[in-house]
A and B are shown apart, each in its own frame.
Chain A
Amino acid sequence: MTTDPDEAADRRRPRFRAAAAAAALMLVAPLAACGSGGAGGTPTINLYYPPEQNLQKVVDDCNAQAQGRYEIVYRVLPREADEQRVQMVRRLAAQDSGMDVLGLDVTWTQEFASAHWIREWTGQDKAEAEQGTLTGPLDTARYEGKLYAAPKNTNVQLLWYRTDLVQQPPKTWDEMISAAQQLKQQGKPYQVLTMGAQYEGLVVLYNTLAESAGGKILSDDGKQAVMDAGTVKALDQLKKFATSGVTSPSFTNAKEDPVRLEFQSGTGAFQVNWPFVYPAMQEANPDLAKKVKWARVPGIDANTPSKVTIGGVNMAVSTYSKHPTESFEAARCIRNAKNQKFSAVNDGVPPTIEQVYDDPEMEKAYPMKETILEELKEPAVRPLTPAYQSISTVMSAILSPPSGIRPQQTANELRDAIADALESKGVLP
């Protein structure tokens, strides 16, 4: 009787082994696929980039051009900016060599550079990245006077308004608010839709207002918190907007896409949002799209044009990449003028190379290109510092909900919190 269990175990063993082997294979297989494309062969350049529908075509084009010197593989990052950053940061902190070219949000370049995670652009690479590139986007790619990334695309919000409700686009926020209030009294769609949730979108809105009011959040060298009179004025404006009764009930929880959907559903008269809303609207609600026009985002003062916060993506090369030369080349190819135009036309992301805007093809895909270019030429750049992420987080917490702002007091609170964040002393909410 005592041998029975042993026999049973013996009979079971081969199956166990097979199962274990299968499990091991399943674990290893995806890792093997991530490897650098076989020793001695063409080096694989892993491009970690946010989702962009037609970027694969750009990658294919660059691979064809490389003629076997390298092969770019497009690895899609998560859709949410925070998750993109967390993934890259986590792997870079662990010195992961599986990432070569990184698509960084414009606000991350200083942070990654300060942490020594990305390589400086020098020589020919640098010259090509700077050639004809708009100065605003280029500023976001610099840290301590050195270039750490090449701007691939930029982005800037526009004011979208309904021509059937509003004849002239408002020049200032106050004008926009009173126009919306009038529409409300007439029982027409009146809402001013924009992003007010406690996240980066709220900071972008505030940064636009602050820069338009001539305010400074940080000193020029990025080392000190300023928060001057202009920024107080912007706080006042933001509060006025939030309490004027013209926002959507979802304002304090609204992010980009829900804002677009709300406007598409027809409840809004104005929308301050990125250009991606335009092609989406034409597809989803072509009748409404015909009635919608765009203008420069309103300013604070009627005689001073607004300065609008720029977004976009910079391309950087990881410090831990095993193929830096090829990586720089691949990054340059993906952001060259031809591919920028392709991405602009097919994915709606505004180019960073100025001459691309003159291309006749841009006319059809980008009817709003004049306004975009106008805003891009005197843009508002978000505070340039490695601590930006912390600053943004405390700012969005202090600014939220905007209806609770008490201008001077909130400005002091912001100044203290930003100063702490710069010293890595601050606690993020």
Chain B
Amino acid sequence: MFDFLEGYDVLGAFWMTVKLTVLSAVGSLIWGTLLAGMRVSPVPLMRGFGTAYVNIVRNIPLTVIIVFTSLGLADIFGVTMGAADNFDVQGFRLAVLGFTAYTAAFVCEAIRSGINTVPLGQAEAARAIGLNFSQTLRLIVLPQAFRAVINPLANVLIALTKNTTVAAAIGVAEAAALMKTMIENEAQTLAIGAVFAFGFVVLTLPTGLFLGWLAKRLAVKR
């Protein structure tokens, strides 16, 4: 029944999906946290930049961003992410760059909502004992904010996992690209589609369950 799977590296393709997801997740968590810091900072210029970035990037379709990294950045501006001689590596790095830029906007908003759950008194108390803005954010506010937004961040992570399929548009050999290849060769749209849908459920369902459990354990009870 599953003989159409023979000769295809399905696991390899999903491994590529995992790599894209993990690297982009780490990147967007860092960049998103920085953006959230900017959006609540006392410096108007930084606040303005953070707001503009989030509102612009999250409203551009992801496909446009990913295709732009390849057609615009690489082909026209010559940004090759240190892999000018290898299109496969180049495509992968550009895709991670695109996913990071896009997902960070959503991570930023999740974290900012977490910051809003931290009572104002916490920040005032931190100021009172002489901490400056970045110390207040780093030591007092963000640790509490993160514990409050594990569930929203899990949603962002699951969305990111599925979004990685867009990388097929610039030829990164992840799951959706292999699915296209297989459908082209085997003419079994439904069965192949089901296999890949199942693969994504296997990837995302445990993520959701684990992070949901973690969110319950770590939530700050107020």
Decide whether A and B assemble into one complex: no
